[in-house]
Structure 1
Amino acid sequence: MPSSTSSNGQTTYDVLIIGAGLAGLSAANDLHRAGLNVLIVDKGRGLGGRLAGRRIGNATFDHGAQFMTARNSRFQASVAEWIEAGVAEEWYSSYPGHPNGHPRYRGVPTMTAVAKYLATDMNVLRTTRVDSITQEDRLWSAALDNGETVSAKALLITSPVPQTIDLLASGNIQIPADKQARLDRIDYEACIAVMAVLDGPTAIPVPGATAFDDGPIGWISDNLQKGVSKIPAVTIHGSGDFSAEHFEHDKMQTGQTLIDAAAPYLGDAKVTEYQVHGWRYSKPTIVDSEACMLLSEFTDLPPLALAGDAFAGPRFEGAVLSGWAAAKSLIAAPSS
């Protein structure tokens, strides 16, 4: 699928990828290595999707995905490469009350470092939303919110599935009934994330993280112990049930509720400032059995694939594996 230039000078990309999260960036790397001309479009300012970092004064936070594990052999090799490049390191393999498990790795200095590394040499258009997609003459056309239009021979969508379904509907893209049923089955839980700056160290035991099976808090981590922040700062993730119940409530009030619930883990430290972020599609709770979905298979559509952690599993590793699988399916898909 060599790229081409039209008579008006506009480039037709080999593959347009919607979403610069782990799935999109991982797919882009494989497609780029295959010699294809790839454009990634993302509505966010940063890279990595739910790999998210934020600064509040002198405090730094990982407020999205907190770590990664590595089970797949190719992914283990990638993690080793990231460690060698200085953008990842092992964080811990257990915390109090839990047996040793797979090593947990973190991004250095924050989780977004891995996404930035994956975006090296990639063509990424940020702070740009794809408003609609259509297909004609074996090409995909994406209308962007900046008024421009992008054409591509193949399309990969990596946004959360409910948003993907809406985008496909914008262009009246007909989805095979069996695949539509699989997409409709996928579900997500929300997460309310609190980033709180403290005036002293926390009482969270080494390694600086605790997960909870019940109650309003799902996770709390000490960004200072983790090595993310230079000053005391905690990330508090609301549980799935709490976040769903309070997602439309006043964010600051909800954040204070979580801070109050976290008091035993803050020790004598007091919160001096905090911010709240809501992840509407934080983590898939029901995932598809396949690593990606080639929607164009057995249709007249140009190559069209879906990827993300809703396909290969709700983990950092799952999103990467899904991106790799989607790239493989698009490389193999007939383009004409």
Structure 2
Amino acid sequence: MDQVSVAVVGAGIAGLTCARELARAEARVTVFERSRGLGGRLGTRRQGNFAFDHGAQFVTARSRPFVKYVEIAGRAGVVLPWRPRILEDDRAWDAPIEEWHVGAPGMSALVRPLARGLDVMMGVGVNELLQGQRGWEVQTDSGRAPRTFDAVAVAVPAPQALALLGPHGRTFRHIADVRMAPCWAAMVTFDAPVDVGAEVRRWTTGALSWAACDSSKPGRPVGPQAWTLHASVPWSREHLEADSQEVARLLLHEFGRSTGTPLPAPSHLAAHRWRHAYAEQALGLPCLVDEEIAAGACGDWCIAPRVEAAYESGRTLAHSLLSTVGLASPALLR
């Protein structure tokens, strides 16, 4: 019997978790990733000796499988605890918080154990999925993939998942119910230390929602102080199509104003737009799968806007697809 083959679209934590579980069950897995780096919104942008976590800032672990994975990644040295000082709306954060974990030397490192040994095609975007007589065909930026697949797993933001899977049945039309929110992220470095009273500043109103000193995270390179600033959802929507350099300048100005701190001239300043940053309204299911056509979708947008939710969604989809194609699921982590 030929080895079961599965195409996974997206190399964020949902896609890589799904791919890893499928590979553990002896499926032949190919992961297609449009960008040049792993992790999706667990992204790390590097500029010289600087490292910016411009997407997800940290992870928490509650479920037993994800707790176990964080422990494994910790033993591998790619995940470390982070205990920053926190101010929210100029007041000390006095609520109990869960243990925060960060990737080292950047958040994208958190997915490295998942990707190890997988066939990941970087810089290859998937534009269309086609059902043929011999299975699923994958249309990429550079043409059709050279082989067909018995099943497909789509692990990209909800609007992109809908574009790929919407034409293939009613099951996936529910993706249209998901509402995603944008976020502009500014990345800035200062040659001189900047003290704004805490390593993390949070705001419940205004242009900024978050500011974090990436240099304070463990395992980061020594050098100029690096900060990541996240704009609020309303501000990001209002400036969604604005020029990225103008956005960076506006958010830097707002950082100084909101913290009441005179800021020195930055040595580096840039911005990145996350058009689909997280789910404001999630699907309410762990994943979507159509067993008749051996296709499914996963992501944090299925459950909740947390990294752990993406992990859970990818894992659930993998086990659903394994059942669909007649493979036994690997032993669950206990």
- The TM-score normalised by the length of structure 2 is 0.90
Contact 1:42 1:126 in 2 (8 A): yes
Is 2:15 the counterpart of 1:18?
A: no
Amino acid across the alignment from 1:111:
M
Contact 2:201 2:212 in 1 (8 A): yes
Matched length: 317
Contact 2:84 2:200 in 1 (8 A): no
Amino acid across the alignment from 2:22:
L
Structure 1 position 335, deviation (Å): 6.0
Is 2:238 the counterpart of 1:242?
A: no
Amino acid across the alignment from 2:269:
Y
Cα distance in structure 1, aligned partners of 2:314 and 2:84: 26
Amino acid across the alignment from 1:312:
I
Structure 1 position 249, deviation (Å): 1.1
- SS of structure 1 residue aligned to 2:148: strand
Q: Quote the residue 2:180 is aligned against.
A: 188
Q: 1:126 is matched with which residue: 111, 122, 125?
A: 122
Q: 2:157 is matched with which residue: 157, 160, 175?
A: 160
Q: Quote the residue 2:300 is aligned against.
A: 309
Q: 1:327 is matched with which residue: 312, 318, 322?
A: 318
Structure 1 position 268, deviation (Å): 4.4
Contact 1:61 1:229 in 2 (8 A): no
Cα distance in structure 1, aligned partners of 2:326 and 2:139: 21
User: Residue by residue, what CA displacement relative to the aligned partner does 1:12-70 show, whole Å, maximum 9, x if unpaired?
Assistant: x6110000000010111111111111100010100010111112233221111110001
Cα distance in structure 2, aligned partners of 1:292 and 1:115: 20
Contact 1:154 1:335 in 2 (8 A): no
Q: Quote the residue 1:29 is aligned against.
A: 20
Gaps of 5+ in 1: 4-12
Amino acid across the alignment from 1:100:
P
Q: 2:284 is matched with which residue: 289, 311, 334?
A: 289
Cα distance in structure 2, aligned partners of 1:204 and 1:328: 46
User: Residue by residue, what CA displacement relative to the aligned partner does 1:304-323 show, whole Å, maximum 9, x if unpaired?
Assistant: 01000001211110100001
Contact 1:93 1:104 in 2 (8 A): no
Contact 1:192 1:279 in 2 (8 A): yes
Cα distance in structure 2, aligned partners of 1:93 and 1:68: 14
Contact 2:79 2:103 in 1 (8 A): yes
Contact 1:60 1:223 in 2 (8 A): yes
Q: Quote the residue 1:278 is aligned against.
A: 273
Cα distance in structure 1, aligned partners of 2:60 and 2:296: 26
User: Residue by residue, what CA displacement relative to the aligned partner does 1:172-206 show, whole Å, maximum 9, x if unpaired?
Assistant: 42334xx52x3111011101010111121122334
Structure 2 CA distance for partners of 1:225 and 1:93, relative to 1, 3 Å: closer
Cα distance in structure 2, aligned partners of 1:268 and 1:130: 43
Cα distance in structure 2, aligned partners of 1:286 and 1:292: 15
Cα distance in structure 1, aligned partners of 2:84 and 2:170: 42
- SS of structure 1 residue aligned to 2:38: coil
Q: Quote the residue 1:87 is aligned against.
A: 78
- SS of structure 2 residue aligned to 1:263: helix
- SS of structure 2 residue aligned to 1:152: coil
Contact 2:150 2:325 in 1 (8 A): no
Cα distance in structure 2, aligned partners of 1:148 and 1:334: 23
Q: Quote the residue 1:145 is aligned against.
A: 141
User: Residue by residue, what CA displacement relative to the aligned partner does 1:52-105 show, whole Å, maximum 9, x if unpaired?
Assistant: 111223322111111000110111111111111100011027624222211110
Identity %: 29
Q: 2:110 is matched with which residue: 94, 99, 114?
A: 114
Q: Greater CA deviation, 256-265 or 81-90? A: 256-265
Q: How do residues 68-107 of structure 1 correspond to structure 2 at under 5 angstroms?
A: 68-92=59-83, 95-96=86-87, 97-98=92-93, 99-107=95-103
- SS of structure 1 residue aligned to 2:105: coil
